[in-house]
Amino acid sequence: MITKKCKHCGEEKLIKLFLKDSRLKSGYASKCKFCHNKICRRYISANQQYYTRKSIEYRKTDKGKIKSSANQKVKTALRSGKLFKEPCSVCGNIKSEAHHSDYREPLNIIWLCSLHHKEWHANNKIYGI
């Protein structure tokens, strides 16, 4: 197995534990995913007011209101039994998320696991509004 040394913690780890970064010669980030996440969490908690304000501002926009409303309608439908959580439509993983192709149709959803949900957005760059 190929390994790489993390510049942050100094540990030698498997290459799959590093984020991909096409700008670098190796093709992988210099910090492992664990250290990267730790640094990001520290930064966000140090700037909590900024991120809270940005989140509130987004929810006040038309796009934010539609998206928030659609997500809330899915949660309500799941609780009331009108909608049932299904496995990922691509791989069958039971840990799935509701994906809206169009937020204006809140209950017209596709169930995707986290991996395939991110992949769908990366490939399509369409957000339904």
Q: How confident is the model over 50-93, as pLDDT tens digits?
A: 999 999 999 899 989 999 999 999 999 999 999 999 999 999 99
The percent of residues above 90 in pLDDT, for the chain, comes to 81
pLDDT of residue 1: 81
Burial 85-112 (b: 16+ CB within 10 A, else e): eeebebeeeeebbbbbeebeebeebbbb
Query: Per-domain residue ranges for the chain?
Result: 3-46, 48-124
pTM over the 0.85 mark:
no
